[in-house]
């Protein structure tokens, strides 16, 4: 990634943080204006999108329909391009959401610990949005998905090898909980 692109991502991340700091809380929702749960102890997550806390499968299904087995998608270093091998699973999950319009999910974006906090939060959000963009293209409703970026605050593994970093660079589909 060129330095100019990195600067843009950092600027966008800082803007998001500044705007979320100026937000007021929604009354009785349990989420602040950025969509973060008040009980979230990670503190660095940025959220966008919708989600009223209804769980994946609350539409009467058991939440184990075809295509939901793979809920974690990995990314290359400094990239938010969905890998070709993950696209069929993303689209299968999108098809499930289209067929079950009351189902809701959270797309959690994560990064490895390299880079500044602001950069990592922005990159995690870009990764989650890349997955959501594929789902939107398949017809998933905005109200079914909430985007959260944890940056490097919830590492998959505590190690510092390239193998560990590869596991940290991910988007995870999580049931939306109230």
Q: What CATH number is attached to the domain comprising 83?
A: 3.30.1330.60
pLDDT digits (tens, 9 = 90+) for 42-53: 334 444 443 333
Residue 36 and residue 9: Cα distance in Å, rounded?
21
Residue 15 and residue 67: Cα distance in Å, rounded?
36
Query: Among candidates 71, 39, 34, which has minimal Cα distance to 49?
Result: 34
Block mean pLDDT (10 aa), the chain, length 178 = 57 50 34 30 40 37 47 97 97 95 96 97 98 97 97 94 96 81
pLDDT digits (tens, 9 = 90+) for 96-130: 999 999 999 999 999 999 999 999 999 999 999 99
Overall number of domains in the chain: 1
Pairing of strands 72-74, 105-110: unpaired
Buried/exposed 62-82: b ≥16 CB within 10 Å, e otherwise: eeebebbeebebbbeebebeb
């Amino acid at each position: 990634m060129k330095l100019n692109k990195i600067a843009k991502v950092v600027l966008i991340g800082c803007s998001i943080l500044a705007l979320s700091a100026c937000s007021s809380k929604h009354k009785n929702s349990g989420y602040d204006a950025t969509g973060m749960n008040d009980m979230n102890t990670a503190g660095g997550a940025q959220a966008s999108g919708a989600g009223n806390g209804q769980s994946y499968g609350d539409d009467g299904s058991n939440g184990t329909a075809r295509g939901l087995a793979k809920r974690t998608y990995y990314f290359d270093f400094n990239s938010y391009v969905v890998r070709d091998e993950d696209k069929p699973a993303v689209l299968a999950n999108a098809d499930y959401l289209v067929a079950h319009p009351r189902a809701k999910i959270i797309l959690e974006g994560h990064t490895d610990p390299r880079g500044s906090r602001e950069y990592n939060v922005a990159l995690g959000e870009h990764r989650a949005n890349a997955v959501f963009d594929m789902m939107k293209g398949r017809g998933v409703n905005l109200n079914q998905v909430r985007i959260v970026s944890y940056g490097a605050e919830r590492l998959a593994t505590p190690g510092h090898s390239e193998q560990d970093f590869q596991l940290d660079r991910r988007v995870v589909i999580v049931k939306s909980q109230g």
